C-alpha cells in the first residue's frame, strides 16, 4: 500500500509507521467518558469487520495502531477501520 493510497488518512492525522507496516493515530477527547465512548463505538465496528486494533487508553487519549497481522502489513481492512474510527471520533 502506497502513501498515495493512504493520503486521505495521512491528511487526517494518521501516520505511517517507520517500517511501513502499520498506521498510527492518537485521538484526544474532552474527558475519559468521551474517550471510552469512542472506544465502544470503534469496538463494535471492529468486531463486525473481524479486524481488531492495537490500542490503549489513558484518560482522554486513545492511541491506535492498525496493521493486518495475517499479511504482515497494511491492507484495505486497516484503511476501512481507520475511516470508521475517524467517523466514530466525530
Residue 3: pLDDT band by 50, 70, 90 thresholds?
confident
- Compute CA distances 76 → 13, 14, 28, 36, 60, whole Å: 18, 15, 25, 26, 28
CA dist., res. 87 & res. 18, Å (int): 25
Q: Which helix (H) or strand (E) holds 4?
A: helix 3-10
pLDDT at 34 over 80: yes
Is there a contact between 52 and 64 (Cβ–Cβ < 8 Å)? no
Mean pLDDT, range 75-90, rounded to an integer: 95
pLDDT at 90 over 90: no
pLDDT at 1 over 80: no
CA dist., res. 5 & res. 49, Å (int): 20
Could you tell me the domains of the chain? 3-89 (3.30.1360.20)
Residue 5's pLDDT is 84
Amino acid at each position: 500500500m502506497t502513501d498515495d493510497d493512504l493520503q486521505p488518512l495521512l491528511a487526517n492525522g494518521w501516520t505511517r509507521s517507520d517500517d511501513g507496516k502499520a498506521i498510527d493515530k492518537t485521538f484526544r477527547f474532552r474527558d475519559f467518558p468521551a474517550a471510552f465512548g469512542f472506544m465502544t463505538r470503534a469496538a463494535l465496528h471492529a468486531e463486525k469487520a473481524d479486524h481488531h486494533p492495537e490500542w490503549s487508553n489513558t484518560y482522554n487519549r486513545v492511541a491506535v495502531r492498525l496493521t493486518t497481522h495475517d499479511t504482515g502489513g497494511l491492507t484495505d481492512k486497516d484503511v476501512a477501520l481507520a475511516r470508521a474510527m475517524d467517523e466514530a471520533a466525530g
